[in-house]
Structure 1
């Protein structure tokens, strides 16, 4: 993969051509008729009862979990307003509430820059309301930092001033890059809930959440420029941990694995129980794998919750999120 991506990075004309084609491609998707125009779901309770909420005290009364956004800035704002996290002026208004976005803010849609700016602002505002905003890394954030430009629009590049300027913005020289590389985690345990983009296999979970996040941050904050990677790695037939380390593994890694969505259910649930035990969580909440017809789904007696419902207007244009009410001992799926 490193050779494929770095080889493309050497060719600015191909980068520009692909990005321009993606502008046309995704605009057509946005304009096309969508099933989300006719398929509407009702709010549904997922879990209820003290047996599923065992702690005597939780850090947050409420947790809102949002799946993959993929550059749809307007959809993100609408979801945040529907969840009563922000007002009409995009100011944070919720108290004792955590917002968790499980990765893939970027790619496809062109609103990544605005999304990052909004979430960074809200993170600061939320602290004043005894609240918090958490953003996890997804495989597409990683893809951006690996020079994976195949699904980016030219209008996304243009928002930063061009693809080279976008690279600089996502490096450690800029606030966007510092947020991605230093502060966005691979996985997190928030109250009873284990959050991760694609899924946490037991072989990773037993290493410890803190170790996984530290390893990812150490690698991402010490990556040379792409020009240096080309000179020191690609041209010398070497690789870099950014492309090869286990925490970023494309088969079973926490940003990429499809085990929890594609393996036989009995195997998935057996693995999940081991993961929950070692992380001391009650459930695992993931994105990454798009759920059919914009509906949040569960497995393993509702201990595994899939919340990627193709929110972006470049994919499915559905609407929904997960709401965990610790004070009422309830978990809900919320729809428009």
Structure 2
């Protein structure tokens, strides 16, 4: 059957309009890529979402080709945001203790809101539009929660993965500290997971857990991260240090060393006998769940002082708990809360520069952080 040129042009235009309308509704229809190791093969899987279902593609590479492989992260609704990632030669556990950098940017609880992360890094001159590191010897610190709720979790993970290597070449560093949502996802607790990710896993013929287990690149990368770090004068983590954690008398190095084997472990409560591990991962007093600095009755300042003395720091920097006055100092400047509601458009971070602390946002303006 042959179509008249005018009718054919109309059909093409109608198809384009439907495609654009679908992208406006769905946002970025691309999901992934997901890299899975299978024997001597590296599988690269990607998903395209439609209004009806998700479709997956798969490419297989020999492991000897890994260092030549370039991962492409794509955005159907904004191709200018696309970026490429070269895979790391190896993945090593992160150090737990660092000296004091001259410049630090802290943010937390991104939870898949890729645009929030990207725009904060752009507006505060951490990266340029080509995703190149321009923060010099500065350090970027993510105080937990990369997973859940948001629509672009894999892209968020791949951007931090990419920036780690680029920062190092310029004398800077990226610290990705794990939060409760990260631990939950790795352990199969998907209570807050956006349904699109379950659809993506099904399309790839995988369980969601298999996308981030020990046989995947991102799963291995996440398991190399810490639960707590000491960076200069700052103790950095997701939730906070409870009295129960203080009582353990563990260094940050010890906490991370004994905890790493249990990242992604299911049902710790019924399968682990070690009291230290149970406290660290506990859903009330654990490092990435504790809210005692902010809920009422607030934690006694003497306990905060005990933590500062024990770890020999001047302040504790946490995410996890949204407070109206965040980004803000509490307990006379001893606690810095950096969690803001990224999902509701509140995109802010804390900047330490030349000995001063500022709240920064998408404008690039700097305001001194108030003590609440």
Same-fold status (TM-score > 0.5)? yes
* CA 82–185 in structure 1, closer or farther in 2 if over 3 Å, else same: same
User: Once the 2 structures are TM-superposed, how far is the Cα of residue 141 of structure 1 from its aligned partner?
Assistant: 0.6
Deviations 1:60-106 (A, max 9, x none): 21000012101101111001111211100112121111000001111
Q: Distance in 1 between matches of 2:194 and 2:331?
A: 38
| Partner of residue 64, structure 1 | 105
Deviations 1:161-211 (A, max 9, x none): 558353223111111111222x21111010111111000124424211111
| Partner of residue 170, structure 2 | 129
Q: Distance in 2 between matches of 1:207 and 1:142?
A: 21
| Partner of residue 54, structure 2 | none
Structure having the higher strand fraction is 2
For the Cα contact (< 8 Å) 2:227–2:287, is it kept in 1?
A: yes
| Partner of residue 331, structure 2 | 300
Pair 1:167-2:209 in alignment = yes
1:289 to 321, 324, 335: 321
* CA 238–283 in structure 1, closer or farther in 2 if over 3 Å, else same: closer
For the Cα contact (< 8 Å) 2:245–2:285, is it kept in 1?
A: no
For the Cα contact (< 8 Å) 1:219–1:241, is it kept in 2?
A: no
Deviations 1:290-320 (A, max 9, x none): 1227x41221111111110111x3xx22111
Deviations 1:221-276 (A, max 9, x none): 7x4xx7xx8xxx9xxx953579x7221101101111111111434x4321111001
- Listed as ranges, the gaps of 5+ residues in structure 2 are 1-50, 52-97, 363-372
For the Cα contact (< 8 Å) 1:169–1:175, is it kept in 2?
A: no
How is 1:67-216 mapped onto 2 (pairs within 5 angstroms)?
A: 67-158=108-199, 161=203, 164-181=206-223, 183-205=224-246, 206-216=249-259
Q: Structure 2 length as normaliser, TM-score?
A: 0.65
Q: Distance in 1 between matches of 2:175 and 2:341?
A: 20
SS in 1 for 2:317: strand
Q: Distance in 2 between matches of 1:190 and 1:270?
A: 22
| Partner of residue 39, structure 1 | none
For the Cα contact (< 8 Å) 1:59–1:191, is it kept in 2?
A: yes
4+ residue stretches of structure 1 with deviation over 4 A?
Answer: 158-163
User: Once the 2 structures are TM-superposed, how far is the Cα of residue 58 of structure 1 from its aligned partner?
Assistant: 5.4
User: Once the 2 structures are TM-superposed, how far is the Cα of residue 220 of structure 1 from its aligned partner?
Assistant: 2.3
* CA 154–207 in structure 1, closer or farther in 2 if over 3 Å, else same: same
Q: Distance in 1 between matches of 2:209 and 2:99?
A: 39
- Listed as ranges, the gaps of 5+ residues in structure 1 are 1-19, 21-56
Pair 1:310-2:341 in alignment = yes
- Provide the aligned length of Structure 1 versus Structure 2: 262
Q: Distance in 1 between matches of 2:324 and 2:198?
A: 30
For the Cα contact (< 8 Å) 1:98–1:131, is it kept in 2?
A: yes
| Partner of residue 264, structure 1 | 297
SS in 1 for 2:241: coil
Asked which structure has the greater CA Rg, the reply is 2
* CA 64–159 in structure 1, closer or farther in 2 if over 3 Å, else same: farther
RMSD over aligned Cα atoms: 2.7
User: Once the 2 structures are TM-superposed, how far is the Cα of residue 158 of structure 1 from its aligned partner?
Assistant: 4.6
How is 1:28-39 mapped onto 2 (pairs within 5 angstroms)?
A: none
Q: Distance in 2 between matches of 1:174 and 1:125?
A: 22
